[in-house]
Chains A and B, each alone.
Chain A
Amino acid sequence: MVGDLSEPLVLLVVGSAVLVLALDDWRPMVGVWALTAAASGLLLQILAGVPVELAGLQMLSGGLLAGVFYLVAWRAQRTAPSVLGARSIVPWRFRALAGFFLYLLARLLAARFPLPFLPIPLLAMTYALIGIGLLMATLSRSPLKAGLGVLTMFSGYQVFYFAVQDSLIAIGLMAAMSLVVAFLMAALTLIRQERLP
């Protein structure tokens, strides 16, 4: 049963991350990103046998971060529309294609160099989310989307970290760092771009 669920869930997580990469409008982008975070928490619990509290923490922090981003974008719509609406110079089709290739590469890497302490689907998902997040962060010109990219990297890394780390303090601090990144991106999006006197 678990094996049956793992592939569709991995595809759901990676597919939604690719969708975030391809989207330009902030509303669906934030919504789909929340779905990615929630599904990766669920996958952690199912595949890696992580305690349900920890997987819940991942889902909760994903929800919180999505909420923060929604509020920031909603406010930026009025105060900094040009910052919010800055679009990537790479068309969405190419971004989606790049995300798909990254996933294939991640599958190949995970199968070729497996790690003894992590199931292959989770390892592939970690690689794919870090790669897609990096792509999202570097291709984007809007701080909001770059922030979602950095947080996608973090959430990919957390899949790996939560599965192997047994220190609750370290896990809590890692989740707290995601909040720091969200705060920074909120500040970068909303900050008033002052001119010299």
Chain B
Amino acid sequence: MNLPLLALLALPFLAAPLAYPLRRTPLAAPLAAITAGLMLVLLWGVPWPRVAAGPDQITLGAPVVVLGRTIRLTEADRWALTALWGVAALAFLTAWPFPFERRLYPIGLTAAGLWTAGLLIRPVGLGAFAIGSAALLLALTVLGEGHGMAGAMSYLIAASLGVLLWTTAAWAAEQAGLNPGQPLWTLLTPTMILLALALWLGVWPAHRWVPLLLGEGAPVGGAFTLFLLHAGTWLWLPAWIQSFPWLALSPLWTVGLQAIGAMMVLSSAALALPETGWGRLGGYGWLASSGLSWLALGLGTAEGIHLSAWSMGIRVIPLLGMAFALAAYRRMARSTAFGQVPLAQGPWVIALLLGSGLALVDAPPFPGFAGRWALLRWLLPGRPGLALALIAVTGAMGWTFLRGLVAASAAERPLHPMPRSARWFGLAWWTAQGVLWLATPWLGSWLEPLTAGWTRALLG
């Protein structure tokens, strides 16, 4: 019996009921963060024996079989779970100063636990239920301040439809294996996956929930939801490719991913132009940056896969910075509209909003610019129009964020004081950005195990 693996699966579900009664106290955030830290300790501290589970598959410890289904941990899974739980720990700590983020701790632990189970379960179709349940549960984390309802409802509708599409895709993929040579299944499966991706990633016209989450919901809960839906799905897709290798050969696959990525980048810039609130802009900024990762993935080259993983990982810090700043802004002014908090009264909050916004859209000198530059270099010879549009997107999005800085201040009204934690968080955030900037050339090598799954499946 692989006890460490069972502990890995059980720990979040044991911690969530403990976090629930403590959610209104300052103890919930450290408890949830410690649980996430323990998950990392389990992943890296346990001397996992390497077991040959198949002709070309090495697992960490023996796979566990439950009701005929296999649960196993591979090296790529270990890196995926490290990314997931590392960000979860950071998100729990980011939410600590804000009482209205209290639903994040129990729900976040449960959702991340379900996501973990979904990543490890085979067949992948059964994992879809665990991951789908996690996605649905996350709807509760965005409620917080009396007006997160519209975002939560929009999100729930998109997530539910996505779940139906994922389960249909899993069933269709199994049918393709049972009925070789029938084109219906090999066409239906990637179509369903791409439609599910469009809903879960918030691709226009199903984008409404993304800006609503950050604009009206609890910002850190919304950011964690966005991270799981976007990066978590990115981490889950190699399992699909490994289970159904013919999927990567479908012409729909690469074209679809590229179209999704390009649509996310371009539409978010166009939709962001008339917006006048930091929250909604943050949502569009995340869409634009995540779209770049999906576009790079759709290129189907080793460089594209590495760039995709790199850019998905590097933007976690801007996303969390944006979430913290939005929560602090809302704490001060009850709204995320421009001009509610003057620079003099909330300098760290405004600096965080602007910095994380510009970092999300890869404005120089933020580290994401290196990835965008590399992608532009690759795109320029074959698709100069798209490359130029990507440059224009950075300009347009950067301008929308800068516009927030110079927006006319709202009429004088009593504001809550800036949270004291904003200064410390701001210092940590800007330091992290500096470290990322300096470490940029070496970051790619850390991603090798994570991208190996993609690279092996796509390129052989």
**Chain A residues with CB below 8 A from B334, complex form:** 196
A137–B140 touching, CB < 8 Å = no
Chain B hits for A157, CB < 8 A:
164, 168
A187 CB contact (under 8 Å) in B67, B129, B140, B160: B140
The answer to whether A177 touches B156 (Cβ under 8 A) is: no
B139 at the interface (CB under 8 A from A): yes
**Segment among A24-32, A46-54, A146-154 that sits at the interface with chain B:** A146-154
Interface assignment of B69: CB less than 8 Å from any CB of chain A? yes
- Cα(A83)–Cα(B149), bound, Å: 10
For window 110-135 of chain B, which residues contact chain A by CB distance below 8 Å?
125-126, 129, 132-133
Tell me, yes or no, whether B95 is within 8 Å of chain A by CB.
no
Is the CB of A174 closer than 8 A to any CB of chain B? Answer: yes
Task: Tell me if A181 is interfacial: C-beta within 8 Å of chain B.
Answer: yes
Determine whether the beta carbon of A164 is less than 8 Å from that of B171: yes
Which residue on B lies nearest to A156, using beta carbons? B164
B161 interface residue (CB < 8 Å to A): yes
| CB-based contact B137/A146 at 8 Å | no
CB pair A154–B164 under 8 Å, yes or no, is yes
Give the most central of B99, B146, B160, B163: most A CB within 10 Å: B160
Query: Which residues of chain A are within 8 angstroms of B143 by Cβ–Cβ distance?
Result: 188, 191
Contact A174 B167 (CB under 8 A): yes
Cross-chain contact A170 with B160 (CB below 8 angstroms): no
Q: Give the number of A-B contacts (CB < 8 Å).
A: 84
Alpha-carbon separation in the docked complex, A187 to B168 (Å) = 27
B156 touches A146 (CB 8 A): yes
Q: How far is the CA of A151 from the CA of B89 in the complex (A)?
A: 33
CB contacts (< 8 Å) of B69 on chain A: these are 169
Please tell me if the beta carbons of A194 and B145 are within 8 angstroms of each other in the complex.
Answer: yes
CB within 8 Å of A: which B149-179 residues: 149, 152-153, 156-157, 160-161, 163-164, 167-168, 171
B interface: dominant SS: helix
Contacts A154-B164, A170-B129, A184-B136 given; does A193 touch B157 at CB 8 Å: no
Chain A residues in 8 Å Cβ range of B133: 176-177, 180
Q: Are B129 and A138 in contact (CB under 8 A)?
A: no
Q: Which of A141-192 contact B (CB under 8 A)?
A: 143, 146, 149-150, 153-154, 157, 161, 164-165, 169-170, 173-174, 176-177, 180-181, 184-185, 187-188, 191
Whether A153 and B126, one on each chain, are in contact in the complex, defined by CB atoms closer than 8 angstroms, is no
Which chain B residue lies CB-closest to A193? B146
Expressed in whole angstroms, the Cα–Cα distance for A157 and B167 within the complex equals 10
The one of A165, A169, A180 in contact with B171, judged by C-beta atoms closer than 8 angstroms, is A165
**Known contacts A134-B161, A157-B164, A181-B160, A169 near B136 by CB under 8 Å:** no
Cβ-based interface call for A93 (8 A):
no
Chain A residues with Cβ under 8 A from B156's Cβ?
A: 146, 150, 181, 184-185, 188
Contact of A196 among B67, B139, B145, B163 (CB under 8 A): B145
Residue of A174, A177, A191 near B136 (CB, 8 A) is A177
Q: In A58-93, which residues have CB < 8 Å from any B CB?
A: 83
Nearest CB in chain A: distance from B199 CB, A: 12
B100, CB-defined interface residue at 8 Å:
yes
* A143 interface neighbour in B100, B149, B163, B416, Cβ under 8 Å: B149
- B207: interface (CB < 8 Å): no
With a cutoff of 8 Å between Cβ atoms, the chain A residues found around residue B136 in the complex are: 177, 180-181, 184
Q: Do the beta carbons of B129 and A177 come within 8 Å of each other?
A: yes
* A142 nearest CB neighbor, chain B only: B153
With a cutoff of 8 Å between Cβ atoms, the chain A residues found around residue B164 in the complex are 130, 153-154, 157
Q: Is B331 an interface residue (CB 8 A)?
A: yes
The answer to whether A138 and B163 have CB atoms under 8 Å apart is no
Q: A146-B156, A164-B171, A173-B126 are in contact. Are A153 and B146 (CB under 8 A)?
A: no
B145 lies within 8 A of A195 (CB): yes
* Cβ of B179 to closest chain A Cβ, rounded Å: 10
Using Cβ atoms and an 8 Å threshold, which residues of chain B touch A165? 171
Which residues does chain B contribute within 8 Å of A146, judged by CB atoms? Answer: 153, 156-157
A153-B168 Cα distance, complex, nearest whole Å: 14
Q: Which residue on B lies nearest to A83, using beta carbons?
A: B149
- Name 17 extra pairs, CB < 8 A, besides A177-B129, A194-B146, A196-B330: A146-B156, A149-B157, A154-B160, A161-B168, A164-B171, A169-B67, A174-B129, A176-B129, A177-B133, A177-B136, A180-B137, A181-B156, A184-B156, A187-B140, A193-B147, A194-B144, A197-B99
Query: Could you give 17 example pairs across A and B, Cβ below 8 Å?
Result: A146-B153, A146-B156, A149-B157, A153-B161, A157-B164, A164-B171, A169-B69, A170-B126, A170-B129, A176-B129, A177-B129, A177-B136, A180-B137, A184-B139, A188-B143, A191-B143, A194-B145
B residues near A, CB below 8 A?
67, 69, 99-100, 125-126, 129, 132-133, 136-137, 139-140, 143-147, 149, 152-153, 156-157, 160-161, 163-164, 167-168, 171, 330-331, 334, 416
Query: Which 3 A-B residue pairs are closest in the complex by CB-CB distance?
Result: A173-B129, A193-B146, A137-B157
